[in-house]
């Protein structure tokens, strides 16, 4: 049954929150101050109509908004949207008793996302390729995507055709598409085991469409052109399905902040180094020890360093930093640290950093909650938090990146 609600604030996932007698009710696609009707089910509700709209409500940028689960908040005016993202970082820090001036949000432009994860499934009506509806398993086929690079959107029909060619399962599977300097790199996951004829037909299609590479579950099916991305001036041939920051502009913004902070460091440890987006840039001025658990990513980093010129020494170490973080004694060999862990954060590694006397630390995170936890550990260990910069590389989503810079006086030995 529909009922009338007043929205008081935005929740952490961009849902509007209404206060009711039985507690908070979350209503997607609503804004503070609005009066709406919605169909309630437990603590969530489906928006039926907006009776009194917020003056901050705008028309969404995409026809698929509210259906496709990719974006949550296209309907909020830009300045208010930027404040909301910045406040997410501030609230997370405040929850751990951390007070610090939060810099203005570094914004994200539309049509800049270079790495897009689609979901695909064969249906009676044909191949579906798109994004999953929020809180559902339903795939919404898409015809546009205003967050993604135009070269990805322009090939949606051909990517759908490729999904059809590699599909050997009745279940849903993922297709990660990355725009590189060599063309689109397509990494498919859980599409089933291909027969020889399927491999041949898919390979011919990749060549005909000018794609750089097709891999399935980490196996390269065909690679007409090695996918290459630039980390600053350094070319890196990335492995299949490699992690990359979502947008090139956000990556450069983070690298600039980190680079300025660590400019005085002669030796830097890059923890959770990935393919080297920080390490290879930092090596222009500092010796860098890159630590990463993924062998393929580390190999790409090392290969890029060996073929580059003008860099200081870069060493690499394969190590699971969740199971075996660098100890404070190992860290004391460095003048600076940058760490950029997955969303789970780096709790155990932060405890070791806190015990060290490394003077300069840069913490990068896509999760303000775990960032706040890790910063609390570092601050309790004697570090002073100098700045926090939120960076919006996940446009119109609830997610926000942040770079925190810390310092500690180095003890005399």
* Residues with active-site annotation: 366
Residues paired with 315 in a beta bridge: 289
- Written as six digits, the tokens of 124 are 């009676």
**Structure tokens, 176:** 């990660």
Q: Establish whether 198 is an annotated binding residue.
A: no
272 marked as binding residue:
yes
Helices 368-380, 347-355: inter-axial angle, 10-degree rounding: 20
Q: Note whether 340 and 291 are within 8 A (CB).
A: no
**Contact (CB, 8 A) for 334 and 306:** no
Q: Give the separation between CA 306 and CA 45, rounded to whole angstroms.
A: 55
Residue indicated by tokens 């990355």: 178
13 annotated binding-site participant:
no
Alpha-carbon span 184 to 238, nearest angstrom: 12
118 is in an annotated binding site: no
Instruction: For residue 41, count other CB atoms closer than 10 A to its CB.
Output: 9
Question: Measuring CA to CA, which residue among 200, 156, 201, 193 is closest to residue 175?
Answer: 156
Binding residues: 245, 272, 292, 340
Q: Binding site for S-adenosyl-L-methionine: which residues?
A: 245, 272, 292, 340
């Amino acid at each position: 049954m529909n009922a009338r609600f007043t929205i008081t604030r935005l929740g952490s996932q961009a849902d509007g929150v209404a206060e009711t007698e039985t507690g908070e009710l979350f209503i997607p696609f609503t804004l503070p101050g609005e009066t709406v009707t919605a169909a309630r089910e437990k603590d969530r509700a489906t928006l039926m109509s907006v009776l009194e709209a917020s003056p901050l409500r705008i028309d969404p940028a995409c026809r698929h908004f509210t259906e496709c689960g990719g974006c949550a908040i296209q309907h909020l005016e830009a300045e208010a949207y930027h404040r909301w993202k910045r406040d997410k970082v501030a609230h997370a820090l405040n929850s751990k008793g951390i007070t610090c001036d939060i810099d203005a949000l570094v914004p994200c432009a539309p049509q800049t996302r270079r790495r897009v994860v689609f979901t695909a499934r064969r249906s009676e009506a044909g191949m579906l390729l798109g994004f999953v509806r929020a809180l559902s398993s339903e795939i919404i086929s898409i015809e546009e995507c205003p967050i993604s690079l135009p070269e990805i959107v322009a090939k949606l029909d051909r990517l759908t055709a490729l999904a059809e060619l590699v599909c050997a399962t009745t279940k849903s599977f993922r297709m990660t598409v990355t725009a590189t300097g060599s063309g689109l790199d397509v990494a498919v996951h859980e599409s089933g085991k291909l027969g020889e004829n399927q491999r041949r037909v898919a390979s011919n299609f990749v060549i005909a469409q000018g794609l750089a590479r097709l891999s399935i579950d980490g196996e390269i099916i065909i690679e007409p052109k090695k996918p290459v991305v630039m980390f600053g001036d350094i070319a890196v041939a990335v492995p299949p399905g490699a992690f990359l920051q979502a947008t090139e502009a956000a990556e450069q913004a983070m690298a600039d902040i980190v680079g300025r902070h660590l400019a005085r460091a002669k030796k830097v440890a890059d923890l959770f180094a990935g393919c080297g987006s920080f390490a290879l840039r930092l090596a222009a001025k500092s010796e860098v020890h890159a630590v990463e658990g993924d062998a393929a990513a580390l190999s790409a980093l090392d290969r890029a360093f060996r073929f580059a010129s003008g860099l200081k020494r870069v060493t690499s170490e394969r190590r699971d930093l969740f199971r075996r973080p660098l100890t404070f004694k190992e860290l004391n060999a460095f003048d600076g640290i940058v760490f950029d862990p997955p969303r789970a954060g780096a709790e155990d590694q932060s405890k070791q950093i806190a015990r060290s006397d490394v003077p300069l630390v840069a913490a990068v995170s896509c999760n303000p909650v775990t960032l706040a936890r890790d910063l609390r550990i570092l601050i309790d260990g004697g570090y002073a938090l100098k700045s926090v910069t939120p960076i919006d590389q996940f446009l119109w989503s609830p997610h926000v990146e942040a770079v925190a810079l810390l310092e500690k006086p180095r003890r005399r030995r």
